[in-house]
Amino acid sequence: MEPVLPVLVGLDLASAVVFAITGALVASRKQMDIVGFLWLGMVTGVGGGTLRDLLLGVPVFWVVNPLPVALCLGAAALVHFSAHLVHSRYRLLLYLDAFGMALVTIAGTAKGLDAGAGPLVAVVMGVITAAVGGILRDTLGQEPSILLRREVYVSDSAAGSLLFILALAADLPRLWAMAAGLLAAFLIRSLAIRFDWALPVYRSRPGRTPGERGEVE
């Protein structure tokens, strides 16, 4: 399978910038100073890709080419001076996060495949890339974690990654397969935000009494 290097590099750059913007928007909600904007933007932008590359045993993308870090810092600085122009920052944050999640999901999955990982591991790489940046952002910004929100999130990433893998297995051109997975992840997440979609949650039940277990009290 021939890697589509320019597309993967573009996805890494685009996803880093989008996630950096979401990190900076959280910083604006918390009324941080510009250093907080830069730090939160950078960590959010490159966090997921960093863990992905470390797990795959490949050079970390922003260490090889520091352009993603520079773009993250620039995007965060821009948000610092313009966040007040956005009337509904939280709503914008949710949809930007959905788009960033879709981008990094496909980038992470594709990079996993190119590193020689099997389909299952590639899907996991896509999900890790998508989730870790958001987890770091929410933890540092003291926001409710993406893993604790009611709307589906990780499953959206997994669905987009799986569709990408299945499209490749069906001999769809790689760029089209990537586009299909990206669109699926973004649409599912957007609909989850709009209609508050959620998976069934675990509800605790009282344990059986000794009598019900056939035991003598």
- Label residue 52 left, alpha or beta by phi (over 0 means left) and psi (-120 to 50 means alpha): alpha
Return d(Cα 179, Cα 198) in angstroms, integer.
25
pLDDT digits (tens, 9 = 90+) for 83-118: 887 656 677 788 888 998 999 999 999 999 999 999
Following DSSP, what letter does each residue of 65-113 receive, concatenated?
--HHHHHHHHHHHHHHHHGGG-S-HHHHHHHHHHHHHHHHHHHHHHHHH
Q: What is the pTM of this model?
A: 0.84
Report the pLDDT value the prediction gives residue 50, as an integer from 0 to 100: 95
Sign of CA dihedral 158, 159, 161, 166: positive
Task: Please give the structure tokens belonging to residue 74.
Answer: 């620039």
Return d(Cα 196, Cα 202) in angstroms, integer.
17
Residues of the chain with pLDDT under 50: 1-3
Packing angle between helix 5-29 and helix 34-56, nearest 10 degrees? 140
Report the pLDDT value the prediction gives residue 212, as an integer from 0 to 100: 59
pLDDT digits (tens, 9 = 90+) for 171-190: 999 999 999 999 999 999 99
Q: Are 88 and 61 in contact (CB under 8 A)?
A: no
Report the pLDDT value the prediction gives residue 3, as an integer from 0 to 100: 47
